[in-house]
Structure 1
Amino acid sequence: MDVHLVLPGRLDQKTGGYIYDARIVAGLRERGIAVHVHELPGPYPIVDQEAIYEADRVLSRLPDGALAVIDGLALPGVAGSLMIENHRLRLMALVHHPLSLETGLEEAPARTLRQLEQGCLARVHRVVVTSPHTAEALLSDFHVTPDRLGVVEPGTDRPGAPAAGSATDEPNLLCVATVTPRKGHLLLVEALAGLADLPWKLTCIGSTTRDPGAAAAVQDAISRHGLTGRIALMDEIGPAAMPSQYHGADLFVLPSYHEGYGMALAEALAHGLPIVSTRAGAIPTTVPDDAAILVPPGDAEALRDALRSVLTDAGLRARLTRAARSAARRLPTWDDAADRFAAELAVLEPRLRLGATGD
C-alpha cells in the first residue's frame, strides 16, 4: 500500500513544517512504506485558481482507496476537492498549527481560514498534529473528535556532545526561525536594544525572503538601534551547517507569538542550550520550566529582563544548561516519530503496521 503526501511547494524547504514532513517521509521509506510526494504550485495559504485547479487534479488522479496525507498548509487548495474525494480516498490531515492562528492576520481573512479549516478537518478521516497543545485546540475550537485525532511530535537528532559554546567573553545568542511576524524577531531587536551595555552578539538563521516586509522591518530596527555590528540576520543555511551553529551558541532565544510545537527549541535542548522564549502555544510543553525562562509573548520588557538575567548571572545560566542537558535525554528521536506516524497511518490502513504483511 502506497502513501501520498500532498503539500504546497517543494518538500526541501527549510522551515519547521517542511523539515518535519521530509524527515517523516524518509523514516517511512526506511521502514519499507512507499511514499509519493505531490508538490502543489501556487500561493499558500491564500490560494488562487491555479493552486485550486492543480490540487483538484492531483487528488482526482489518485487511485480509488488511496491513502492521502494532506499537509495542513495545503488545506485551502484542496477544500473543494475534499467534498468529492473523501468518499473515494482515505484522507489524513497533518496539522502543524492552525493557519487561522498565524500572527498578523487581519480579522476577516483569519475568520475565513478558520471556517475553511473547520470544514476541511470535518471531511478527512483522521487528523495528526505535532503537539498535545495543537490537539487540544482542534478538539475545543475546530470540532475534531478524539477518535479521529493522533499526536506525533517531531524528533531530534542526538548530537554526540552538548554545545561547547563560544568560549569568549561575548556570549553568542542564537535564533533559528523564518523571519515572519509570528517568530518575534522585531521584538527581540527591541529587547536587545536595551542591553547595549552588555557584551553579546546575536546570530539569526532563517529565511529572509518568505516575508520580505517582515525582514525589512527587522533590518531597519537593527540599523535604527545601532546594532548592525552585533546582530547578524542570516538567511537559510544547509542542514549540514546547522550543528556548528548550535555547538557555538551560549544561549538560544525565540520570542514567538505562537508555536505548534517549536522544533528549533527542541533542537536547542538536544544540544544542551539554555533557552529564553515565550509561553506561547505549545512552547511550555516543549520546553521544561527548569531549562528556560519563558515570558509572555509580545512583552519586550519581560524579554529584556530575562535576557539580562541569563547574560549577567553565570549561576543561573549554568542551572539552565544542566536542566537542558537533562531534558535532551528525554526527547523523542526521528526514529520514534517515524514509528508513531506509521502507527497513525495504520489506523486507516492496517497493512501498514510495522511488521505486517498483506496479500
Structure 2
Amino acid sequence: MSRPRRAALYVALPGDIDDPAAPSGGNHYDRRVCDGLAADFDVRELAFPGAWPRPGPAAERALADALDELPDGADVLLDGLLAGVPDVLVPAARRLRLIVLVHLPLGDETGLAPADAAILTERERRTVQAASAVVATSRAAARRVATVHGLDPAHVQVAAPGVEPAPAASASSAGTRLLCVAAVTPRKGHDVLVEALARVADLAWECRCVGDMDRQPEFAAQVRARAADLGPGRFQLLGTRNGSALAAAYAATDLLILPSRAETYGMVVTEALARGVPVLASHLDGVAEAIGCAEALNGAPGLLVPPGDPAALAAALRDWLTDAELRERLRAAAAARRAALPGWDVTVRELTKVVCA
C-alpha cells in the first residue's frame, strides 16, 4: 500500500554529512536526496556522530535509543555506513520498515585487513537481510550487494546519483590541465596516479588533486613525498575544496582522472561530464556506468584502464597528451554525454518509489 503524501520519513545518517571539512560523494548524495524527498515526505533527519561503520558503544546506544522512540511501522531510510550494527538494527527491523541505502559494501573498503573485512561484511549482511528494502547507488553496486549478501537481485533497487547542471569548461588546446577530485586514500589510488605521472614526466602537464588529506595522513604523506620528485608545482595536493572553489577547479580542467581501486559509481565523473570534461578512470563497473559506457567503450567520453596499474594509466595519459585528434573526439563525446546526464530529480523519484512500495 502506498504511503500518503507528507507521511513521516526518518533518515538515519552519519553525523558529518553537512561538515564542509569532510566532503564526500556519499554525503553529497545524502544531502541532495534528503532535500529532494522533503517535497513529498515529512523528512526527519537523525544524525549520529561516530567513527562509522565502527562507531563505538556510545554511538550504537544513541542509534538504538533513537530507533526505539519511533512509532511502529515507521519508514526509516538508513545510510549504509550505519549498517554495521546488526544487534541494534535487526531487532528494530522487526518493528520498523527499514530501507538500507548502500553506497559501498562495508567490507569492500580498500585497505581493510581480511579479518576486518569479513567481520564488516557479516554484520552488514545481517542488517540488509533483515531490511524491508535495499537500495544501491548503481546497477553495478546492486549486483555486488546481492552477490555478497545472498539477496535476490530483485530485492536490491537502484537510485543512481544525479548531477547538477554546470557551465561548460573552457578547454585548452594541449589538454595539459589534469584534475583528480577524491579524498587522498588508498581506495582512490593517488599512489597509482603519481607513479603514472612519473612515467610521462617528459611531457608537459600539471595535475591538481582536490580532496581531504586527513583521512589517512600517512598515505597522504607518502603521496606528497613521491610527488616532490616530479618537480615544483607539477603535482599539487590542494586539500578540500567546496562550492565556488571546487567549481573553479573543474572549470580550469582539461581531463579528470579517477584512478580508484574500488568505486560503486564515481560522482566526480558525472560532475566533470556536466562541464564537458572528458574522463580517464579505472575500468570498474560503476565508473563505466557513470561515464555512460557500461556496455561498450565506442563513442565514450573517456578512457578506462585497469585499476591499480600505473603503466596502463601512464599509457592512456601519453595518448591523451600527444594525440590532438583523440582529445577532440573525447571532448565531443563528453559534450554529448553532458546533454544526457540525469538530474537529482531522477534519483529522488527512484527512492520515492522504494519508500512508497
TM-score between both structures, scaled by the size of structure 2: 0.92
AA in 1 matched with 2:32 = R
Q: Distance in 2 between matches of 1:79 and 1:259?
A: 25
Q: Distance in 2 between matches of 1:181 and 1:227?
A: 23
Partner of 1:174: 179
AA in 2 matched with 1:149 = V
Mapping 1:128-147, distance limit 5 Å: 128-147=135-154
Deviation sequence 1:66-87 (CA, Å, 0-9, x none): 11111011112x4211222112
SS in 1 for 2:239: coil
Identify which range, 119-128 or 142-151, moves more after superposition: 142-151
**Which of 37, 48, 58 does residue 40 from structure 1 map onto?**
48
Partner of 1:156: 163
**Which of 16, 22, 26 does residue 10 from structure 1 map onto?**
16
Q: Does the CA contact (< 8 Å) of 1:170 and 1:199 recur in 2?
A: no
Partner of 1:66: 74
AA in 2 matched with 1:20 = Y
Q: Distance in 1 between matches of 2:211 and 2:231?
A: 19
Identify which range, 332-341 or 94-103, moves more after superposition: 332-341
SS in 2 for 1:55: helix
Gaps of 5+ in 1: 348-359
Mapping 1:170-209, distance limit 5 Å: 171-209=176-214
Q: Does the CA contact (< 8 Å) of 1:258 and 1:281 recur in 2?
A: no
How much does 1:47 deviate? 2.8
TM-score between both structures, scaled by the size of structure 1: 0.91
**Which of 321, 326, 332 does residue 342 from structure 2 map onto?**
332
Q: Distance in 2 between matches of 1:168 and 1:266?
A: 22
Q: Distance in 1 between matches of 2:216 and 2:69?
A: 33
Partner of 2:290: 286
Number of corresponding residues: 342
Q: Does the CA contact (< 8 Å) of 2:183 and 2:210 recur in 1?
A: yes
Q: Distance in 2 between matches of 1:338 and 1:141?
A: 26
Q: Distance in 2 between matches of 1:238 and 1:212?
A: 20
Q: Distance in 2 between matches of 1:213 and 1:44?
A: 20
Q: Distance in 1 between matches of 2:157 and 2:246?
A: 30
How much does 1:32 deviate? 3.5
Partner of 1:212: 217
Partner of 2:4: none
Partner of 1:341: 351
Cα 1:55–1:323, aligned 2, differ >3 Å: closer, same or farther? Answer: same
Q: Distance in 1 between matches of 2:232 and 2:273?
A: 28
Percent of aligned positions with the same letter in both sequences? 37
